[in-house]
């Protein structure tokens, strides 16, 4: 007697399909044990765990950071320089000297550079309009005020001034924890442009303009300005000076050698950065565009 219940119809359908695949189809195509079908099945089974293993390895690699990048992100030096330090055995991870370039630093690892504990920091770039009376160093033996006293709330990381402005010089000063940018902007080969507003005790003659452009001799070598001119709307004792050398107090020394005394010295531009809309003693974080421009210099 034919059973028309839905349950039995489903069961019969499955059984018939199973019988067809195993017996009719395999018999017709002469598939034997151990031939291509069995091999394909085995390969599929074996490849699955391997795939998962690779996925796990890739995930673990992503969690780590290459040692040279870790050092560079700590503000110590560039990646290329870090490779040299690693090669020379300067770097330790968890107490062990590491000389392998591709070594991965994992979360929780302790990294020491030349005996000093380091950790990656987010790069911060702060522009300060420096007032008089502040030293452009991280600390002063005489307990005088430093520019860091003005930017204490700018970053949770330790900042360093890029170059120096003497105590009485005002104007644009960049502070950052980016070692690469600091080295780039202070190295003479990059010839980073700086513009100063100089106020002197007397009118500057055109003859002295020429002497400053031709250059004056000092212990460090020949010092010369790139451009010099009177400032429109100001007395003739005020001049604008463009220069790229960064020797200590060089502008004051150059004018002093010609018989002038610098009464005021204000840096109005450094590496394309200006103090526009920034009051004296105030600071601001650089924009992404400004940061990119610095990296392209």
Catalytic-residue membership of 83: no
Q: Which letter, b or e, does each residue of 205-242 get, where b requires 16 or more Cβ atoms within 10 Å of its Cβ?
A: eeebbeebeeebeeeeeebebeebebeeeeeebbbbbe
Rounded CA-CA distance 83/74 in Å is 14
Catalytic pick from 166, 201, 208, 266? 166
Ranges of H-type helices in 89-190:
179-186
Rounded CA-CA distance 164/146 in Å is 11
The single-letter DSSP state of residue 146 is B
Rounded CA-CA distance 212/243 in Å is 10
Rounded CA-CA distance 131/141 in Å is 20
227 and 241 Cβ atoms separated by less than 8 Å:
yes
Name 250's Cβ contacts closer than 8 Å, sequence gap at least 6.
218, 223, 243
254 and 225 Cβ atoms separated by less than 8 Å:
yes
Rounded CA-CA distance 252/274 in Å is 21
Judged by DSSP in three states, 220 sits in: coil
Active site residues: 166
């Amino acid at each position: 007697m034919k059973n028309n219940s839905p349950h039995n119809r489903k069961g019969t359908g499955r059984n018939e399909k199973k019988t067809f695949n195993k017996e009719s189809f395999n018999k017709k195509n002469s598939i034997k044990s151990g031939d291509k079908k069995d091999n394909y099945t085995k390969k599929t089974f074996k490849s699955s765990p391997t795939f998962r293993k690779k996925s796990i390895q890739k995930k673990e690699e992503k969690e780590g950071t290459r040692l040279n990048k870790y050092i560079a992100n700590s503000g110590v030096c560039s990646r290329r320089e870090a490779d040299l330090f690693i090669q020379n055995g300067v770097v330790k991870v968890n107490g062990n000297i590491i000389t392998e370039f591709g070594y991965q630093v994992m979360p929780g690892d302790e990294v020491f550079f030349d005996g000093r504990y380091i950790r990656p920091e987010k790069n911060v770039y702060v522009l300060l309009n420096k007032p008089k009376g502040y030293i452009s160093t991280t600390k002063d033996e005489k307990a005088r005020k430093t520019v860091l006293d003005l930017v204490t709330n700018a970053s949770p990381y330790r900042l360093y001034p890029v170059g120096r402005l003497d105590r009485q010089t005002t104007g644009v000063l960049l502070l950052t924890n980016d070692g690469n940018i600091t080295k780039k902007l202070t190295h003479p080969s990059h010839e980073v442009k700086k513009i100063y507003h100089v106020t002197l005790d007397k009118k500057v003659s055109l003859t002295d303009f020429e002497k400053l452009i031709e250059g004056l001799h000092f212990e460090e070598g020949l010092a010369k300005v790139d451009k010099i001119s009177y400032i429109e709307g100001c007395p003739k004792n005020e001049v604008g000076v463009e220069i790229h050398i960064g020797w200590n107090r060089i502008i004051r020394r150059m004018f002093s050698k010609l018989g002038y005394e610098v009464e005021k010295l204000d840096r109005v531009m450094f590496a394309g950065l200006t103090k526009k809309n920034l009051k004296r003693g105030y600071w601001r974080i650089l924009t992404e565009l400004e940061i990119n421009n610095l990296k392209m210099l």
